[in-house]
Amino acid sequence: MDRRISYSLRYGLWFRLRKLIIWLLGVYIAIPFLVKLCPAIQAKLVFLNFVRVPYFIDLKRPQDQGLNHTCNYYLQPEEDVTIGVWHTVPAALWKNARGKDQLWFEDALGSSHPVILYLHGNAGTRGGDHRVELYKVLSSLGYHVVTFDYRGWGDSIGSPSERGMTYDALHVFDWIKARSGDNPVYIWGHSLGTGVATNLVRRLCERETPPDALILESPFTNIREEARSHPFSVIYRYFPGFDWFFLDPITTSGIKFANDENVKYISCSLLILHAEDDPVVPFHLGKKLYNIAATSRSFRDYKVQFVPFHTDLGYRHKYIYRSPELPRILREFLGKSEHEHHH
């Protein structure tokens, strides 16, 4: 009797397990077809603009994130598009900045301090924890930091697209340049933001208004190579027709973020920062991009530098701001790039 019960229990368990395995296999096989039929899914996974982390933060109040010397603006790059912008002033202006209005902050861009336009990566908002920590570091080093949420991110209105993100960045850059006088303006892109940064700087170089330097933190070569290397793609990497199912829909959606192509048309100082233990954008992609840029004729009159951060430091994808070496790296690199800039 007991043997019959244990047999039926075992059989029932095996039957349920088999059902689960078949169901999981069905889902595993269905997902590539779903992505192929609906490329918008891949676009959403690239942008992740619907992921709001931290969620309960009022982007109108940067002081809630410990940024007491930051002003929140709204700019309108084009009709039906509004973007939220944060402007953090350098440490030397902190005291004066208390309780001041937007006009004071805009005027402050003309004070004798360099400006960094920061282009963030996918997911989250301009109020993301690691982003806020970097603004604080850069502000303490004497830089104005201007950052914003692309259309469709945070409280910015509009639909995300590569063209739209690049246009938003161009609009903010021009807005800064109209107020910053002769102060150097640097562009800093992180992760997906490096794709926006090289799109922007290529365009700026083509119209002969380059920035004073470009800083790429955790960059990739192009979105296809990044998607192939992303941890999410591990379970499908050896799936027959991986490129056709997963990478072609990204291209179909008009998403390229071709850093490797763009650097061939960029003429300004370039600094690449990458952690060896980056689990999101593999270190070898940042190194590959550096090798392309370093041999490109467009950089022959400019400094191109690659700074790796050892695995033991644990900076991974978004914690390079913790490096005690960062102030020195920036001082040495940006100090030189100011002198090297050809007018």
Catalytic residues: 191, 278, 317
Q: Which residues make beta-bridge pairs with 241?
A: none
Given the structure tokens 């083509």, which residue do they identify? Answer: 206
| Residue owning tokens 């100090």 | 335
Q: Which amino acid would we find at residue 124?
A: G
**Is the N-terminal amide bond of 231 cis, ω within 30° of 0?**
no
Q: Are 88 and 80 in contact (CB under 8 A)?
A: no
Provide φ and ψ at 150, rounded to 5°: -60, 160
Which amino acid appears at position 172 of this protein?
V
Q: Are 229 and 191 in contact (CB under 8 A)?
A: no
For the chain, helix, strand, coil in percent to 5 are: 50, 15, 35
DSSP assignments along 205-253, one per residue: HHTT---SEEEEES--S-HHHHHHHSGGGGGGTTSTTHIIIIIHHHHHT
Secondary structure of residue 84 in the 3-state scheme: strand
Give backbone dihedrals phi and psi of 29, rounded to 5 degrees, phi first: -80, -30
Cα–Cα distances in angstroms (integers) from residue 250 to residues 21, 41, 109, 253, 285, in the given order: 30, 9, 38, 5, 19
